Amino acid sequence: MKKFYGTECYIQSVGVRSDMEIDGFAITVCEEIGVELSRHRSRSFDEMEEWGDDLSSFDLVLALSPASQRRALDLTRFYHLDVEYWPILDPTGLGRTREEKLDAYRQTRDMIIAKLTERWGAPRGQGAGAA
């Protein structure tokens, strides 16, 4: 999102759980389109609040899994947030060989790009020609 739409909006990546490390396959397939994730750390909704992010300042939550959709909908009891659920393939555990695993992650990456483009139009940031 940041690569394709730049500073047009404020974006924060968050998950249901906070996993210290980003999956290596995700790092690899994102590097292919110029998105650097190796220093990225995922955090939870709870951590966002603990670290001072004001969840009421967000307009939209894009949930990519049923669990994140449930958690986001729980937050709408306290904050006015729109929640959209995008059923995106979870590539973890798919494929046996390294190349099969990378293909599954590429499919997920490309699904997300397609949904972003469908929702906000053609990329306008630095990555307008990527993917």
Residue 114 is classified by DSSP as H
**Placement of tokens 């992650």 in the chain:** 105
Structure tokens at 22: 């980003």
Nearest to 79 by CA among 106, 45, 121, 110: 45
At residue 99, does pLDDT exceed 50? yes
As a whole number of angstroms, the distance between CA 49 and CA 79 comes to 12
- What's this model's pTM, rounded to 2 decimal places? 0.82
- Separation between Cα atoms, residue 14 and residue 10, nearest integer Å: 13
With pLDDT > 90 as the criterion, what percentage of the chain qualifies? 43
Tokens 């955090």 locate to 43
From the candidate CATH numbers 3.40.720.10, 3.20.20.70, 3.40.50.2300, 1.10.1040.10, the one assigned to the domain spanning 2-118: 3.40.50.2300
How far is Cα 76 from Cα 97, in angstroms, rounded to an integer? Answer: 41
Express each pLDDT in 19-52 by its tens digit.
Answer: 556 789 999 999 999 999 888 777 777 787 787 7
pLDDT for position 101: 97
**From CA 67, how far away is CA 51, in angstroms rounded?**
22
* 52/79 Cα distance (integer angstroms): 15
